[in-house]
A and B are shown apart, each in its own frame.
Chain A
Amino acid sequence: MAAAPRLEVTGVAKRFGAVRALRNADLVVHAGSVHALVGENGAGKSTLIKILSGAETADAGTTAFDGREVSIGSTTAAMALGVATVYQEPQLFADLTVAENVFTGRELTRAGRVDWTAQNARVTELLDLIGLPARYATVAVGTLSIAEQQQVSIAKALAGDARLLILDEPSAILTDTEIDVLFGVVRRLAASGVAVVYISHRLDELFTIADVVTVMRDGETIGTWPIGELSVRRIAELMVGGVLEDGPREHRVPEGTPRLELRGLGLAGRFHDVDVSVRGGEVVGLYGLVGSGVAEIAASVYGITPATSGTLHVDGAEVRPRSPRHAKALGIGLLPSDRKQQGMFSFQTISFNISAGNLRLLSRARVLVDRRREREVARRMIDRLSVKTPNERQPVSAMSGGNAQKVVLARQLVDRPGVLVLAEPTQGVDVGAKEEIHRIIAELADAGTAVLVVTSDLPEAIRISDRLHVVRDGTTTAEFGPGASQVDVLAAAAGAVEVAP
């Protein structure tokens, strides 16, 4: 190719405090091609795109656009260059029309009045390009489906004559048909000369959409290959790389009947036919990529969104948790996946956070808070989970992610539930705390608890599970025993056709 590449990134690095999020990234993206960027969580993908879209500035390295070196200091600077980014969650104004959303902040005006005709003409073109009906131009965005909203985000990104379009896991929240539509849009854009950077966890879809693939690992780009030279398995190997695989947990699972059983569990539109069983003393992993439905399964077991088909059994008896309160009464404990939103009472103390889920237990006659026991329980938990804090009266908002996570976990351990569902137990937690949380999970199982760990962290899933189920497209697909290889599991989750041994 004679022309200079649309984007050429060389030696870009970024550090957040002590964490080297990006060590060394090189990326060459050509106009008219769809360039996939893959890597495990924490490999540095999102940091790289934040730098490209101007949301963060690089500490080192150079960026060239059409052969000209540029510095992208802000989101507006990025937009001026023609870099448009579509994030996973649509950032739109629900009550404004599609046309208005596309032009918010850069309205086309004539004599002080918004030129609706001109805007609509442009939006109609864009809608046609992304495959939405033209009449949507005047429809409020809030009335559209999430997939359509994402398409509107793409239209918005394109309105400013995008020359480089970055799509951050656009398929994660879409259904299969919606993904087909998305691919059509991406292909048309590429054909019209736009350079597309496509980030995805779903390796199988890369073979439908991508021309080239760049793999990232541990903050570095480790190479770029044409898609024709790769297979799902090969990409998985490259992503996992030479990472030392931990040996399986030294642990003999006791025989016995399952304490928790999901038989053909389903929730309309979210997941279906999920079969999982967990015996006492066993840690079962449920591994799936973002959008695979794995998070929804956990929420259903806990009664947040009750299942619509199949059955759920605790100690052999069929149960139908209606609410977290009910699930708790049935002996199911759950660590929510989103610590800040669903877990923490941020400015309240550690002991408040622990007792909030156990008020009945820590009370006298259910009415009075037994403050002495509350204090004792909090101190015991701080000790048992090695929470780093001077005392139990500290607010959790002041704590590190790992310590706060331990406090939220402690809340679930007070009444020693027989079944424990842990969703993303180590998300946003530093390495040391991660080790400790893994140790706590093993201890819980050794004490006889049936533990179901729902995670999108592959090494974690393999490391702590006695058995591992892979969730893909809303259902359990493959099961692995202890000592499964990361490559096999990832390939299964990301949609390799060949089934792992």
Chain B
Amino acid sequence: MTARALRLVLTQRTALLVVLLVAVVVTMTTLSGNNYLSAPYSASYMASTLINAVPLAMLALAELLVITSGRGGIDLSVGAIVSLTGMVFGFAYGQWGWPLAPAVLLALLLGAACGALNGFLVAHLGFPALIATLATYYAFRSLALVVNDQRPINSAPVQELYSTATAVTLPLVGDALPRVPLGIFTFLVPTALVVWFVLARTTAGRRLYAIGTNDVAARWSGIDVRRTRWSAYVAAGAISGLVAVVTVAQFASARPDAGTSGNGMALPAITIAILGGVAITGGVGRVAGVVLATLLVVWLNAGILLAVPGNDGTQFQLFALGVVLVVAALLNALTQRRYGGTQ
């Protein structure tokens, strides 16, 4: 019985993540109840921290798509696409006076175009994904910084966008549930649903898993391998374009380094994707795992902030992220040898 439970937790990444998530929430709530934390680790606190989950989870979903496409798939440029697309969105919405909907569409399309360049280099020209997206990371980041001479765009319309990033009371359930940031519903949930739907229910999803599992066999099965792989990068770019809008709203400003300052956005996104059970070798990865991994990281981080006040808190977040990633990777390698893989 215990052996079976252990096997389940080790081979089913979602099971492991649920266990860890429950452990984190229970631990933090207990600590909070005994006043070990600097502020209560309450449901409303947990809900409010979800604002951090939106860009993180969306970019992790983008990485899910490209990593699953196989042949060393990865996208280092997502953060740079966020920066660049955010600036262009800022121009369109904040300076050229475009209405919101076309401006968002523009961001989506520009992100997709950036992704199309990545996809062309990787799928059609055969560049290693790591190198191709490293190069475009540099190019997009540079353009984002140059396009407005390093200055952010925070004109009135952009600042007003901030209101869309604030928390809302859910309709119907009303105050029964805590207030949740609006971005969850306007961006993250739709993106996650679409990605889940594409992967789990459509022929495009099947093709993606097929090329990620064995692209030679996929070719022999009559699948257009290049086009499928290219599409994965386009989709990742489009999602990054949406994240740009989210980020602009969150900061009430289109910042040229929004996705590239510090360690950038790509690294945490890749980390979360891998933590969520996406195999770096391709062909394996599920939306549920990525979403759970995001929640785990966000709520763990939120707890750490309360447990370790001040600057130390953010530092311990790095520590936790690193440990979780290394342990998850070692665990993957172990289950690979013992049980023949993670699902």
Contacts and interface: CB of A to CB of B under 8 A. Distances in A.
The answer to whether A and B touch directly, with their CB atoms under 8 angstroms apart, is yes
Interface stretch (A66-74, A348-356, A437-445): A348-356
Given A347-B341, A397-B340, A352 B206 contact: yes
Contacts of B341: 347
Given A367-B203, A369-B203, A369-B206, A344 B223 contact: no
Contact of B210 (A302, A336, A356, A398): A356
Nearest to B210: A356
B209 interface: yes
A17 B284 CA distance: 32
B217 A344 contact: yes
B279 to A, nearest CB: 9
A343 interface: yes
A347 B213 contact: yes
Interface in A315-372: 323-325, 327-328, 334, 336, 341-348, 352, 355-357, 359-360, 363, 366-369, 371
Contacts of A348: 209-210, 213, 283
Contact of B218 (A347, A356, A398): A356
A363 B340 contact: no
Nearest to B197: A368
A411 interface: yes
Contacts of A355: 206
A27 interface: no
Nearest to A360: B203
A118 to B, nearest CB: 38
A324 B217 CA distance: 11
Contacts of A357: 221-223
Given A324-B219, A346-B214, A366 B340 contact: no
Given A348-B213, A356-B206, A397-B340, A343 B220 contact: yes
B334 to A, nearest CB: 17
B202 A336 contact: no
Nearest to A342: B220
A304 interface: yes
Nearest to A302: B220
B216 interface: yes
A112 B218 CA distance: 49
B262 to A, nearest CB: 37
Nearest to A325: B222
A214 to B, nearest CB: 38
B202 A367 contact: yes
Interface in B212-236: 213-214, 216-224
Interface in B172-213: 201-207, 209-210, 213
Task: Please tell me the size bucket of the interface on A.
Answer: 20 to 34
A359 B203 contact: yes
Interface in B314-343: 340-341
Given A336-B220, A347-B283, A368 B210 contact: no
Nearest to A371: B201
A360 B224 CA distance: 12
Nearest to A344: B217
A166 to B, nearest CB: 31
Contacts of A341: 214, 216-217
Kindly name the residue among B217, B219, B223, B340 whose own CB sees the greatest number of chain A CB atoms within 10 A: B217
A344 B214 contact: yes
A397 B210 CA distance: 14
Contacts of A327: 222
Contacts of A359: 203, 206-207, 223
Contacts of A325: 222-224
Contacts of A356: 206-207, 210, 217-218, 221, 223
A345 B213 contact: yes
A426 B203 CA distance: 30
A363 B207 CA distance: 12
Contact of B209 (A323, A336, A346, A352): A352
Given A359-B207, A367-B203, A368-B202, A346 B213 contact: yes
Contact of A368 (B203, B221, B283): B203
A366 B202 CA distance: 8
Kindly name the residue among A360, A366, A368, A398 whose own CB sees the greatest number of chain B CB atoms within 10 A: A368
Interface in B92-125: none
Nearest to A333: B222
A428 B223 CA distance: 26
Contacts of A328: 222
B220 A368 contact: no
Given A336-B217, A347-B213, 9 more contacts: A324-B220, A325-B224, A341-B217, A342-B217, A347-B340, A356-B206, A356-B210, A356-B218, A367-B204
18 contacts: A323-B222, A324-B221, A325-B224, A334-B220, A341-B214, A342-B217, A342-B220, A345-B209, A345-B210, A346-B213, A347-B284, A356-B218, A356-B221, A359-B203, A367-B203, A369-B205, A369-B206, A411-B221
